[in-house]
Amino acid sequence: MAQTFGPGSQYDYVKVKIRLSPDHYAVFSRFMISRFLRASGISEKHSQKIALELKKILVDGGKFDVTQGELDACLFFLLQEKNYTLKHFIRYRMIASFFRERVPLVFFISGTGCLGKKAIATKLANILNLPNVLHTRLALQIMQQTGLLQNDRCHELFWMSNYPGGNEEFIEEYRRQAVLARKGVDFDIRKAIKEGKPVIIEGTFLDPRDCESLFAEFGHGNETIEVRKMKKEDGSQSSYASFIMNSSSPLEFLRKSSSPNPPLPNSDLRISEVNYVPHSIPCFPSVKAVVLFVLLEGDRSILEANSAEWLEQNTRQHGQASPQISTDALVDRFLTIQDHLLSAIPPNYDSIPVVKRSIIKVKVNPEMNDTVDDIQATFLAVLKSLYNQTGDDNQSILDETTTREIMMKERTQTPL
């Protein structure tokens, strides 16, 4: 079970101000720090420990009013002490910038039945700190109540009903319900984009064919990102490396900081002015919204393993009067819809870079955490392609190792 913050930590009763400008500040929140670290790929246990230790360093060092640059420098120090690398810090800054700038995010998770879409969406929302998860099933329930959807083919009964016309009628009914589901969530999608909010939409009745207008308008694969570069003056530093190397620990760094915004060695620049992504400059300047359509693909063995329990639950829910179907026939129907969804993927899919794909196919693993890791790694890869690492000499640092490889390595090691 994941560790949670203790409500009685003495450090939570001490307020630390993060100075954003001469007239504005934010209050340090270890919850937000830990959520951003978690979203960047660090485990939940480690994220919480690092956030708490960062608060301890500031309080024990008597730093109750610090700049954003000092906070980031201390976090960088702390990550290094815990055997994490610059890659993790850059990913943390990228995630923090993404949510700070309120870039709209629409995350579709689709796939045939019995693939665990709801559980995957819920876990992904927890990792990425996304508060809004919509289920197309709820939209279809509203359609049913308004009479737009036949009662004998709604929800689970869709899979169990008789279709005299065979697969052609079966797919036609799926398309009809998919169109209704897409209309049912359209208002929430437009609202999220307008207000700069993230939302995850999951369900079987999400067909990529019904999202082509969104792909055309907001799809990351169709955008040309204009990355703006900050002019670096002679003698300036583009990272904290040279400054931090002159200190042996975060506490020593804070003791050397005689002013709230200390100058860098051999430079008139201040540490808050040489972040490789300055907080005053947008990191996603040309991104109107990020739209990701994740299409889950499962093997027959996975569908068979989940179908028996699914049939038992639905027979118990709808009674013996519900349509009867064998496990093999049910799995065949799952595979029919899966083939229909996969047919929307372009023929040259494998030759298209991941960050340019409108539809992202993800293989479902028997272990759900592996599937979630794959989706999270793809999300981070897309953000990296859109990320404006302004003035940073280490712009290629994330290209040295793939995000997926980094996350898998973290799972097998225990830096703390």
pLDDT band per the 50, 70, 90 thresholds, residue 14: very high
Of the listed ranges 5-14, 249-258, 369-378, 389-398, the one predicted with least confidence: 389-398
Tell me how far apart the alpha carbons of residues 281 and 167 are, in angstroms, rounded to a whole number: 54
At 351 the pLDDT is 85
236, containing H or E segment: none
Query: Tens of pLDDT along 143-185?
Result: 777 776 666 566 667 888 889 999 999 999 999 889 989 988 9
Q: What mean pLDDT comes out for the span 69-96? A: 86
Q: Which CATH architecture has domain 105-225+287-386?
A: 3-Layer(aba) Sandwich (3.40)
Tell me how far apart the alpha carbons of residues 64 and 58 are, in angstroms, rounded to a whole number: 7
Query: Tens of pLDDT along 199-250?
Result: 999 999 999 999 988 888 876 544 333 333 333 333 333 344 444 444 455 5
Tell me how far apart the alpha carbons of residues 34 and 32 are, in angstroms, rounded to a whole number: 5
134 forms bridges with which residues in the sheet? 201
At 156 the pLDDT is 64
Residue with tokens 């359609």: 143
Environment class of 304 (CB within 10 Å of its CB; exposed 0-12, middle 13-18, buried 19+): middle
Cβ proximity of 68 and 20 under 8 Å: yes
Residue with tokens 């989706």: 375
Tell me how far apart the alpha carbons of residues 278 and 273 are, in angstroms, rounded to a whole number: 7
Comparing 410 with 272, the larger pLDDT belongs to: 410
Q: So where are the chain's domains? A: 10-102+227-281+391-412, 105-225+287-386
Q: What are phi and psi of 17, to 5 degrees?
A: -90, 135
| 305 has a pLDDT exceeding 60 | yes
Tell me how far apart the alpha carbons of residues 171 and 337 are, in angstroms, rounded to a whole number: 7
At 155 the pLDDT is 66
Q: C-alpha 327: how far from its chain's center?
A: 34
Interior/surface letters 135-157, b for 16+ CB within 10 angstroms, e for the rest: bbbebbeebbeeeebeeebbbbe
Q: Which amino acid is at 135?
A: H
Nearest to 51 by CA among 68, 38, 66: 38
Query: Tens of pLDDT along 104-148?
Result: 999 999 999 999 999 999 999 999 989 899 999 888 888 777 776
Cβ proximity of 314 and 322 under 8 Å: yes
- Residue 49 CB contacts under 8 Å (≥ 6 apart), including other chains: 416
